[in-house]
Amino acid sequence: MELGNGTEVSEFLLLGLSQAPELQPLIFGLFLSMYLITVLGNLLIILAVSSDSHLHTPMYFFLSHLSLVDICFTSTTIPKMLWNIQTQRKVITYEGCIIQMYFYILFAVLDNFILTVMAYDRYVAICHPLHYLVIMNPQLCGLLGLVCWIMSALHSLLHNLMVLDLHFCSDLEIPHFFCELNRVLQLACSDTFLNNIMIYFLTLLLGCGPLAGILYSYSKIVSSICVISSAQGKYKAFSTCASHLSVVSLYYGSVLGVYLSSAASQSSHSSAAASVMYTVVIPMLNPFIYSLRNNDIKRALERFFGR
């Protein structure tokens, strides 16, 4: 890749969350702790689901996929950030930036798709319980998972191929802790109009589309719960999707908060700090949300560790 003046781009500078030297040990310890908790918590979910035959159901099949995606999602950004802090270097190679950007977009979109499929699973379970196992058969579950992966990969590939055609200016400082697509585009000397149009179009299509599907599923779920006569039946039906609804609310609420804060504030570092919520905090919280009130997961873990 070439700069606007004809020289070759070999690296970018990731400025991180803060440039204050006294804050670096605190940031390193905090993010290392959150990363280890994220990996360990999600690995336990995967181990519980894979080791217990009682959890070989569509709901837990997609839950284990969500845990795998969350591990991969945080692993695309946090290890590099920790390495830069530890070595006191802010450099990321051009190739490394493109690769990081590809996998970040891939797993961010995949997270969104998996949450949408999980909403559909809960809709079928509550609104069509007698036909649940027939509708959510292993073939359909596998197909839904495969479609999610393919669409996410193609979406990410499209953005990266368009970035590869850009030329960059002499200022190669990214005011973020990873190669975020919008920040990289701001450094380009080339015309990024088409890139921005594609971002807005695909965000509307692949962001608002799944959200509409989730809202539709839960509108049907609420309607079905309301016609249940017994209070115990209503509680049981709602409890089966309460964890997923909590994760969806956190995910979309944090993403919306990031974009609103970016629009309201001109500070790039404020936007970077806000993005920590959905890139680090939510993947860390997901295992706790799904396991603390889930007796099936608890029993599976107890059996796995031989208690």
pLDDT tens digit sequence for 39-61: 999 999 999 999 888 889 999 99
Query: Which is higher by pLDDT, 80 or 8?
Result: 80
pLDDT tens digit sequence for 263-293: 555 556 666 767 888 889 989 998 888 876 6
Mean pLDDT lowest among 84-98, 117-131, 235-249: 235-249
Phi, psi dihedrals of residue 228, rounded to the nearest 5° = -70, 130
As to burial, measured by CB atoms within 10 angstroms (0-12 exposed, 13-18 middle, 19+ buried), residue 140 is middle
Q: How far is CA 172 from CA 13, 181, 185, 189, in A?
A: 6, 14, 11, 11
The alpha carbon of 163 is separated from its chain's Cα centroid by a whole number of angstroms, namely: 21
Q: How high is the pLDDT of residue 119?
A: 93
Per-residue H/E/C for the chain: CEECCCCECCEEEECCCCCCHHHHHHHHHHHHHHHHHHHHHHHHHHHHHHHCHHHCCHHHHHHHHHHHHHHHHHHCCHHHHHHHHHHCCCEEEHHHHHHHHHHHHHHHHHHHHHHHHHHHHHHHHHHCHHHHHHHCCHHHHHHHHHHHHHHHHHHHHHHHHHHHCCCECCCCEECCCCCCHHHHHHCECCCCHHHHHHHHHHHHHHHHHHHHHHHHHHHHHHHHHHCCCCHHHHHHHHHHHHHHHHHHHHHHHHHHHHHHHHHHCCCHHHHHHHHHHHHHHHHHHHHHHHHHCCHHHHHHHHHHCCC
Contact 17, 273 (CB under 8 A): yes
Please give the structure tokens belonging to residue 8. 């070759």
Q: How high is the pLDDT of residue 142?
A: 95
Rounded mean pLDDT of 129-149?
A: 94
Other C-beta atoms lying within 10 Å of the C-beta of residue 280: 22
Contact 23, 12 (CB under 8 A): no
Would the pLDDT of 95 be above 50?
yes
Phi, psi dihedrals of residue 14, rounded to the nearest 5° = -95, 110
Would the pLDDT of 231 be above 90?
no
Q: How high is the pLDDT of residue 190?
A: 86
pLDDT tens digit sequence for 17-40: 888 889 899 999 999 999 999 999
Residue 18, C-beta contacts closer than 8 angstroms, at least 6 positions apart: 24, 27, 269
Angle, helix 138-164 to helix 94-127, in steps of 10 degrees: 150
Question: In this prediction, what percent of the chain has a pLDDT beyond 70?
Answer: 91
Other C-beta atoms lying within 10 Å of the C-beta of residue 161: 10
Contact 16, 27 (CB under 8 A): yes
Q: How confident is the model at residue 258 (pLDDT cuts 50, 70, 90)?
A: low
Rounded mean pLDDT of 64-86?
A: 95
Distance separating alpha carbons of residues 302 and 295, to the nearest angstrom: 10
User: What mean pLDDT, rounded, does the chain reach?
Assistant: 87
Rounded mean pLDDT of 166-189?
A: 88
Q: How confident is the model at residue 304 (pLDDT cuts 50, 70, 90)?
A: confident
Question: What predicted TM-score, i.e. pTM, was given to this entire model?
Answer: 0.90
Yes or no: domain 11-304 corresponds to CATH 1.10.287.1770: no
